[in-house]
Each structure stands twice: as structure tokens, then as C-alpha cells.
């Protein structure tokens, strides 16, 4: 178990550092004056890394029982934060998902992922076999639905991810299949309504089938992404030599950073990165089946599945297999809130595993 913990942390640390290097590499070539922006970019990445390190350390060291005792209050707080994004949030690229804290842009939906998983893990542990009874299921699902709805109006992709993980945890906890069918049906109806509520979502779905048909409009980003991946070939054009990062590919340091990695490191490079992610998910799954704490079992399951789904969606979007959803690549894409949230997830996972080992010994 100790070797698995060390390997898991090592992979996590390597991917984070690699992501920082790639973000710096991309952003440095997208500023009007490199000499004046060099320190600014480094400072921004440094702040994100320090905050993420603090988040990881806090999640790793905190008493899990204490987390279980205050998770309901955290849930109320995150709902208030999500509401505040509609009132005082900053609008970026047509979406109002962020709160400007001056030293960083806070994205509450990233932390909602953590809170929902912790909340449902606690609910399932408390209710045990009763989670299969409808009246015991109504309240926790309603709470999750409120959180998902507040997110999905502006960010359907993140809302869908949280909802999927919530359903997965409830099924693991003993929810009956007939309730699962009802919830999925309601979710599909709700998602359809949200898609038609904003026309650009329909256009993104159309563009995903043939981005080249819409290459001068809604499909431009995915076409440039495909071209970047194609240009990389087997071994890539070399670190720092990407052309598509020179303002040809929008959001090349955030949601579409995987395309730039493919261009610079080629097929072998992205395959190595995917293998690292697969190793993380495999070790995370190993933790699920070896941890003896019931709360830790559900918590680790939720975090591992969420990170896996998000990784798959990001790569699916970049390779034009899925509609553009604005979902970042975990640990790699630029974003202070995202990196902090994912680092805390890893911290909670290792906390549960190592605390369980200490208790067992």
C-alpha cells in the first residue's frame, strides 16, 4: 500500500509540474511583450501552485471525521457561492462562472464537485440500506439537483459530470434500478431543455459531427485542435515549437492544452500522458477496494470516477469525438480553482488511504 501511495502521489506531482511547464510555454508566446510578461506569468503560475499545495496539504492532514461533521455547512456555503456568481460573478467568454477575488478567479463549480461527493458519501454511510427507499432518497437527491441546476444553466458540461458521479454513488450505495431509470429520464429531459435554451449549445453538437463544415464559425476551435494533433505526427514538432499556440487555437492553455501537447510531443507524447492518467485511475481503483473505511470507500470512488470522466470528456472534445463543453484537463489545464480542487481531491484520497493504514496498524 505504501508503494501505491508513493506512486500515486509521484504521478500526480509529475502531471501538475508538466502542466505548469506547458502552460508557461503556451502563454509566453501569446503576450505582446515577452520581457514584461515573463515575471507576471511566472508569478501567476507560482500563486496557483502555492494555493494548490496548501489545498492538497489541508485535505491530506485534516481529520476525515471532522469533514463528515461539517460537510452540511460546506454544502450550504457552496450553494450560496453558486448563487453569488449570478449576482456578482464575472462574465468570461459569454459565461458567468467566476468570482473575482483579485488574486485569483474563483470558480465555485469546481469546489461543488468536492462538496457533492463528500455530502453523498456521508449520506450513504448514514442511511446504509435505507438509501434504497424512495423517501430516504428524495432529500439528498433534491439537494444535489439544486447544486447541479445552479451550475448547469451556465456550465452544462460540469453540471452533467457532477450529476453523473452523484448517480454513480447512489447506485453504489444501493439505489434501486427503477429509481435510477426515473432519474436518468428526468436528467435527459432537463439536459434537452438546457441545450435548447442556449442556441450555441445546439450549434456545438452539430459542429462535433463535422467540425470542418463549420470551420469558419462554431467548429473553428476543434478544427484547429485536429490540425495541431495531425501536425504533431508520431514524435511531435518539439517542445516550444507549436504553431497553433500562436493564437490560432483559442484556449490553447486551458481546455485545449491536450492538442498543443500532441503537436509538440506527438502521438507517443500524448500516449504517455494518457498512460499516466490510466495509472492514476488504476491505483485509485485499487485504493477503493483496499480501504476499510466505508466513508473513504465512497469518497475515493467518487473522486476517481469524476477525474476519469473529466479526462475522457476533455480528450473527447479535443479530438472532436464530443461537442465542445469547456471542460479542462485535470492537473494540466490552466486554472487556479480547477488545480486547487483537483489537488484537494488527491489529498482527500491519500488521507483516507493512509489514515486507514495507520488505524489498521
Task: Give per-residue pLDDT as tens, 2-11.
Answer: 889 999 999 9
pLDDT at 361: 47
> In whole angstroms, what is the distance from residue 169 CA to residue 15 CA?
27
- Over residues 176-185, the mean pLDDT reads 85
CB count, 10 Å around CB of 337?
23
Indicate the domain borders of the chain: 1-61+225-361, 67-197
For residue 147, CA distances in Å to 17, 22, 87, 261, 360 come to 32, 33, 16, 34, 36
Nearest of 29, 58, 24, 26 to residue 44 by alpha carbon: 24
Give, to the nearest 10 degrees, the angle between helix 294-318 and helix 64-88: 40
Is the pLDDT at 359 greater than 60, yes or no?
no
Nearest of 327, 341, 350, 357 to residue 280 by alpha carbon: 350
Task: Give per-residue pLDDT as tens, 63-107.
Answer: 988 999 899 999 999 999 999 988 887 777 667 777 887 777 888
Amino acid at each position: 500500500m505504501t508503494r501505491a501511495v508513493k506512486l500515486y502521489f509521484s504521478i500526480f506531482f509529475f502531471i501538475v509540474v508538466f502542466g505548469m511547464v506547458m502552460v508557461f510555454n503556451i502563454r509566453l508566446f501569446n503576450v505582446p511583450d515577452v520581457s514584461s510578461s515573463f515575471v507576471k506569468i511566472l508569478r501567476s503560475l507560482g500563486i496557483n501552485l502555492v494555493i494548490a499545495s496548501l489545498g492538497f496539504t489541508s485535505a491530506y492532514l485534516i481529520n476525515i471525521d471532522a469533514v463528515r461533521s461539517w460537510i452540511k455547512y460546506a454544502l450550504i456555503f457552496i450553494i450560496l457561492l453558486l448563487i453569488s456568481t449570478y449576482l456578482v460573478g464575472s462574465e468570461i467568454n459569454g459565461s458567468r462562472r467566476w468570482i473575482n477575488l483579485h488574486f485569483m478567479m474563483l470558480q465555485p463549480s469546481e469546489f461543488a464537485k468536492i462538496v457533492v461527493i463528500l455530502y453523498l458519501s456521508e449520506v450513504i454511510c448514514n442511511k446504509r440500506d435505507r438509501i434504497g427507499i424512495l423517501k430516504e432518497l428524495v432529500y439528498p437527491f433534491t439537494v444535489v439537483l439544486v447544486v447541479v441546476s445552479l451550475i448547469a444553466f451556465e456550465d452544462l458540461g460540469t453540471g452533467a459530470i457532477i450529476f453523473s458521479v452523484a448517480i454513480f454513488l447512489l447506485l453504489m450505495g444501493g439505489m434501486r434500478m427503477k429509481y435510477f431509470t426515473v432519474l436518468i429520464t428526468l436528467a435527459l429531459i432537463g439536459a434537452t431543455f438546457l441545450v435548447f435554451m442556449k442556441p450555441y449549445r445546439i450549434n456545438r453538437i452539430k459542429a462535433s459531427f463535422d467540425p470542418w463544415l463549420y470551420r469558419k464559425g462554431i467548429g473553428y476551435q476543434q478544427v484547429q485542435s485536429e490540425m495541431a494533433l495531425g501536425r504533431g505526427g508520431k514524435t511531435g514538432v518539439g517542445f516550444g515549437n507549436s504553431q497553433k499556440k500562436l493564437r490560432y487555437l483559442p484556449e490553447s492553455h486551458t481546455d485545449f492544452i491536450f492538442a498543443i501537447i500532441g503537436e509538440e510531443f506527438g502521438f507517443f507524447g500524448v500516449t504517455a500522458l494518457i498512460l499516466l492518467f490510466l495509472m492514476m485511475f488504476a491505483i485509485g481503483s485499487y485504493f477503493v477496494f483496499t480501504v476499510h473505511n466505508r466513508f473513504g470507500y465512497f469518497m475515493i470512488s467518487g473522486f476517481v470516477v469524476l477525474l476519469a470522466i473529466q479526462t475522457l470528456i476533455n480528450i473527447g472534445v479535443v479530438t472532436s469525438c464530443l461537442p465542445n463543453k469547456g471542460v479542462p484537463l485535470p492537473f494540466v489545464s490552466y486554472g487556479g480553482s480547477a488545480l486547487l480542487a483537483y489537488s484537494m481531491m488527491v489529498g482527500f484520497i491519500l488521507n483516507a488511504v493512509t489514515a486507514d493504514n495507520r488505524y489498521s496498524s
